[in-house]
Amino acid sequence: MINSITEKKTDSFNLLIAKNCDAHALLDSGNGRKLERFGRYVIDRPEPQAMWSPRLPQETWQAADAVFTGEDERESGSWRFKDAPLSTWPSSYDSVKFLGRCTPFRHLGFFPEQAPQWDLIAKRVKEIKDAKALNLFAYTGVASLFAAQAGAEVTHVDASKKAIEWAKENQKLSGLESAPIRYICDDAKKFVAREARRGQKYNIILLDPPKFGRGPKNEVWNFFDDLPGLLRECRALLADDKEGFVMLTSYALRASSLSLHELCAEIFADMNPEVASGELALQEENDGRIISTAQFCDIKFGRK
């Protein structure tokens, strides 16, 4: 009998669990769905990771204010509302405020499981002198606001004009109108390539790429095909003589955090980085079950 076990230890693996709060709570999950409270609204959405059975009564689920249905790979579908369609509602985390809305792709304008990352962004930016951040696939700008509030000069890039307008609404709602945020509506790959040719440098890069996407001129984005090249371009934008970090978040759940870890460790190896990877998760309010919703890889470089 052959029994051979080889162990390889990565730098760090983490499970980051967002705390339930007034802005968001995971009430229950199961049968491929999750029941959440966003402010005063209860919302029922798909969640493929919830393969177990729900624990709250069926009547509780049926009383949800909004239910999203849709099962294709690109997550498009439609909403069904208990009464009138949900209006825009204000939400907040720490001192940053943002708006929630029901979108055609089951999302609501922010991802509550990213709260531990928002905490980390704010903490690190305060420790970095002359922090200059690039936020790619920046969506409605919650991470941009945490970086700017902590003192970073932020370049916010997204392919959607609607998302950028939403981000500007969030900036105003947070009282950060004077914060140094530059909004760019562009394809992330093209923008990063141009910045590299210009010799621009950043010491913070945030990326939250989708599984699939299209740029403003119908440019195609495919996570598995395009991410390695984009990360290599991002490496060219990093200032070698400064402390900083790269934070990658992925909802492409066919990938693993180990895959992201090895890719980032390879691309940024010359910076002698600290690489941490793992999963972002939500925890049920009463039962304590945990749902993993995304992977992340965090690359920290410079002073140690």
Is 200 in contact with 194 (CB distance < 8 Å)? no
Q: Rounded mean pLDDT of the chain?
A: 91
Question: Residue 152: pLDDT above 90?
Answer: yes
Same domain, residue pair 69 and 199? no
Q: How many domains does the chain have?
A: 2
- Report the pLDDT value the prediction gives residue 74, as an integer from 0 to 100: 54
- Report the pLDDT value the prediction gives residue 7, as an integer from 0 to 100: 44
- Report the pLDDT value the prediction gives residue 257, as an integer from 0 to 100: 86
- Report the pLDDT value the prediction gives residue 105, as an integer from 0 to 100: 83
**Confidence grade of residue 304 (pLDDT, cut at 50, 70, 90):** low
Question: Residue 12: pLDDT above 70?
Answer: no
107 falls within a domain: no
Same domain, residue pair 227 and 79? no
Between CA 275 and CA 296 the distance in angstroms is 11
Same domain, residue pair 244 and 196? yes
CA distances from 286 to 25, 26, 47, 168 (A): 10, 9, 18, 36
Same domain, residue pair 30 and 165? no
Question: Residue 135: pLDDT above 60?
Answer: yes
Same domain, residue pair 164 and 271? yes
**Confidence grade of residue 71 (pLDDT, cut at 50, 70, 90):** low
Same domain, residue pair 216 and 293? yes
- Report the pLDDT value the prediction gives residue 199, as an integer from 0 to 100: 95
Could you give phi then psi for residue 96, rounded to 5 degrees?
-95, 130
- Report the pLDDT value the prediction gives residue 213, as an integer from 0 to 100: 85
Give the range of the structural domain holding residue 17, as residue numbers without chain letter.
Answer: 13-100
CA distances from 179 to 163, 182, 185 (A): 18, 9, 18
Between CA 121 and CA 168 the distance in angstroms is 20
Last residue within a domain, chosen from 58, 79, 100: 100
Mean pLDDT value of segment 106-119: 95
- Report the pLDDT value the prediction gives residue 1, as an integer from 0 to 100: 44
Same domain, residue pair 41 and 81? yes
CATH number for the domain harbouring residue 144:
3.40.50.150
Same domain, residue pair 92 and 116? no
Percent of the chain whose predicted confidence (pLDDT) is above 90:
75
Same domain, residue pair 54 and 76? yes
Question: Residue 230: pLDDT above 60?
Answer: yes
Last residue within a domain, chosen from 70, 100, 130: 100
pLDDT in tens, 157-214: 999 999 999 999 999 999 999 999 999 999 999 999 999 999 999 999 999 998 888 8
- pTM as predicted: 0.92
- Report the pLDDT value the prediction gives residue 4, as an integer from 0 to 100: 47
51 falls within a domain: yes
Same domain, residue pair 75 and 147? no
**Confidence grade of residue 11 (pLDDT, cut at 50, 70, 90):** low
For residue 227, how far is the Cα from the chain centroid?
Answer: 15
Same domain, residue pair 180 and 289? yes
- Report the pLDDT value the prediction gives residue 72, as an integer from 0 to 100: 52
Question: Residue 25: pLDDT above 90?
Answer: yes
CATH number for the domain harbouring residue 66:
2.60.40.1180
Residue 33 tokens, joined: 């769905």
Question: Residue 3: pLDDT above 50?
Answer: no
272 falls within a domain: yes
